Amino acid sequence: MDVARWVPWLLTGVLVLGALNVLWILLVRWWYRPRVPPPELLKTRCQDGWELSVYLRRAPTRRFEEPVLLCHGLAANRYTFDFEPPYSLSHVLAEEGFDCFIVEWRGIGGSRRPPPGKRWPDASVDDLVAQDGPALIDLALARTGARRAFWVGHSLGGLVGYAVAQGSHAGKLAGLLALGSPVFFPPDKLIRRLIHLGNRAAWPRGLRNEWLSRTLAPFLGYVTVPLSDLIINPKHIPPAIQRKVYANMMASMSRNVLRQFQDWIDHDAFRSFDGSVDWRAGLAKLTLPVLVMGGSQDRLAPPKNLRAQYELLGCSDKQLYIFGAERGDKMDYGHGDLLFGTGVAHEVHYETRAWLISHATHLSVPEEAPDGSARSA
């Protein structure tokens, strides 16, 4: 058999399949795009030169001084919190009177491109804590004239908030809401194996899983993806929403972030990349108000984890909500259900909005926006 004869044909086939896959992904993104007016795109530069994209969804009538920072988790982007109603927390809070700043961490979406001398695979959670978080806070305060801001984070976004609240910008936070954020890492053998597998698949640069999620998105809801119960309760998220979420929200994971997660899971730790800073121990020293929220069937941040997290917090103003049937909610919640479950509007969003309002500073004269979006900062 003359192998050399077939090499050009094989290469041509690979290129054609690759081109068809790119076309398919573009069509999927267009077909499942969110049908809502986009937020205002802002840019801010971190001290190390990395430029972040931050999306501002203004309140039509601003009633509260403090802006809300909405911070996504691992393998996600801004659509975590800025989706279509009734699943979009940014829309809920903006209508209530809060200006919302939705970040995309370095290496994600509009914040993907690194500055000269930096590489996306080298970015770790430490960079989000030391660079991205402070830049996000400073931008929101500068744009609104507020003294402090609220931090709302899902999963990794909540963990970054916990660490930022222990640093130089702690005094600029009015409160922190951690949604499904696993400060403790239980010995779940399956999760550990998946993280180790992800680390190997991410070598040498990172894991660009958004290509796979967008390729498969149109089929979700018709078939159940294996291991999907690790991150969601499939019965709680409508199939049409599953398809739209996977077509828009999934994002890449850098090599060093995955390595850091592997360290946390292997050693049940929540610490800096080099192990020198124990962020979990630092929770006992926090003084700002904290709301811990999670799902009754969340395997990544199970109820036992959340209760231990709540007990560890040193602040006097702290609350804990575990959403699920036992609490009287519509269904039991998994990790992603806290964002896109059918009951979020009347359960998760309701408690989030109530907590923020009770801790916010009311403006004596609300700032009206005649066109609903063009109010000057």
Signed CA dihedral, 153, 155, 223, 217: sign only? positive
**The 3-state secondary structure of 280-293, one letter per residue:** HHHHHHCCCCEEEE
Beta-strand relationship, 68-71 and 51-57 = unpaired
Q: What is the pLDDT of residue 376?
A: 39
Q: What is the pLDDT of residue 234?
A: 80
Q: Is 137 among the domain residues?
A: yes
Residues of the chain below pLDDT 50: 372-377
Give the separation between CA 338 and CA 318, rounded to whole angstroms: 19
Q: What is the pLDDT of residue 377?
A: 36
Distances (CA, A) of 368 to 18, 39, 109, 321: 50, 18, 31, 33
Predicted confidence (pLDDT) per residue in 306-329, tens digit: 999 999 999 999 999 999 999 999
Q: Is 29 among the domain residues?
A: no
Q: What is the pLDDT of residue 335?
A: 94
Q: What is the pLDDT of residue 94?
A: 98
Counting the structural domains of the chain, the total is 1
CB 192 within 8 A of CB 165: no
Q: Is 266 among the domain residues?
A: yes
Q: Is 1 among the domain residues?
A: no
Predicted confidence (pLDDT) per residue in 109-132, tens digit: 999 999 999 998 899 999 999 999
Q: Is 84 among the domain residues?
A: yes
CB proximity list for 25: less than 8 A, separation 6 or greater: 211, 214, 215
Q: Is 274 among the domain residues?
A: yes
DSSP track, 31-97: HT---SPPPEEEEEE-TTSPEEEEEEE--SEEEESS-EEEE--TT--GGGTSSSTTS-HHHHHHHHT
Give the domain extent around 228: 41-360
Q: What is the CATH number of the domain that holds 179?
A: 3.40.50.1820
Of 59, 122, 124, 268, nearest to 183 by C-alpha is 268
Q: Is 121 among the domain residues?
A: yes
Q: What is the pLDDT of residue 2?
A: 62
Q: Is 4 among the domain residues?
A: no
pTM given for the model = 0.93
Q: What is the pLDDT of residue 11?
A: 77
